[in-house]
Structure formats: C-alpha cells, structure tokens
Amino acid sequence: MKKKARTNKASAEKSPVRAAAKRTIAKSAKPAKPLSANKSAKSAKPVKATRKKALAAPTPAVPSSDGKLTFNHAMIYCKDVDRGMRFYRDLMGFKLIEDFRYEGTPVYARLRAPGGDGTIALHMAGPGASLASEGVRLYFEVRDLDDFCRKLMQKGFYITQMPRMMPWGWRHAYLNDPDGHEISLYWAGENRMKKSVMQAVREVAKR
C-alpha cells in the first residue's frame, strides 16, 4: 500500500501538467526586478520638478544680497527740500524717482545719480535742527570734471575749489549744496587704486 502511494506520487511529479504548474508558481513567487534607471526616469512623474516650478517666486523687488548687509542710500537733511531738489536734479543731473509732499510742500525726495544706481534722499529737517555735517562729505565721480564744474559756474553756482590734483593722486573739486553739506566732485583716473599717504596722516604722524 505504501509502495503504491510512493509510485503514484512519483508519477504525479513526473506529470507534465504538474511540472508546468510548479514552474508557474515558482515564477510568480520570485521578487519583481527593479526598473532600470532609464525606465524609472521615463515612467516616474516629475513631482519635485513640478513642485519647484509651482513654488517659484516672482523676481523680488529688493535685490538679493545673500543675507549680507548692503548700502542703500545717503540721507541728506534740508531746510527746504524743494531747493535741494533744484540743486541735485537741475544742477547735478540727478533723476527724481520719488517725491513725497505734505499739503503740497515737498518734505521728502529720492533721487538717482545720472550714472549708475546710487541714490540719495532729501529729508526736511525739523524746526531748529542743526544741519552741520563735519566729518561727512558726499563724493560724486565724473570723468569730465573740468567741464562739469564749468557748467555749474555758468549756472551761477559757486565752487569753493576748482579741480586740481590732490596729494593722494586724485583730481578734486569742492563745493557746498544749498544747506551747506560739503560735496567733492572728483575723478580718480589711473591712480584709482594708488593713493598716496594723505596730508592729514602725515600731520598726525608728526605729533
């Protein structure tokens, strides 16, 4: 009886139907092969790329500085902002980009230099406020320094020092704006990065 059972079992294993069934089961039990890099790239949805594109912010109004401190503009306090505008806009050539008024009177103005992106702001000074600015001077560079100064004089503006070569190798002219702020118009030329020791330093060293 036992011998017959073994014979039946052996014959069943040799059966082509049974063998085919085993092969099918074994094939289905094998883990699926991972997709190749190319297939994965083609079939995978670009979720991250789509998200980045959707979250992309518009160009910011404020220039990026990578979190570092940047110089924005110089504020100049004036007794009369309108008079200051006439000087910086009409004489110096600055472009008015902001004009804030109170009851029709200019109290704040922002102007951009005719060359480059540098800006200044004119702010009305409070009653009795001092406009003394010792230790502070505004510098504006212009290649045709002599011609620029001649044009200012033709418009009736007084220049305290006409252009001349200074000890540190730059040509300078000096004047004051209507509120007494000292201004230097200069051209560095070839000596831009070759400053000599300044007279003030020599005098300090002698003490």
> Which domains are assigned to the chain?
72-126 (3.30.720.120), 136-207 (3.30.720.110)
For the chain, what percent of residues have pLDDT higher than 70? 65
pTM above 0.75, yes or no: no
Helix (H) or strand (E) holding 82, with range, is helix 81-85
Maximum pairwise Cα distance, the chain: 134
Q: Which of 47-51, 91-95, 97-101, 102-106 has the lowest mean pLDDT?
A: 47-51
Over the chain, what is the mean pLDDT?
77
* Candidate ranges 25-39, 116-130, 189-203; pick with highest mean pLDDT: 116-130
CA atoms 25, 28, 31, 33: torsion sign: positive
Residue 183 has a pLDDT of 96
Is residue 88 within 8 A of residue 94, CB to CB? The reply is yes
How much is the CA Rg of the chain, to the nearest whole Å? 41
Mean pLDDT for the stretch of residues 27-37:
45
71, pLDDT greater than 80: yes
Confidence label for 166 from pLDDT (cuts 50, 70 and 90): very high
Backbone phi, then psi, for 121, in 5-degree steps?
Answer: -125, 140
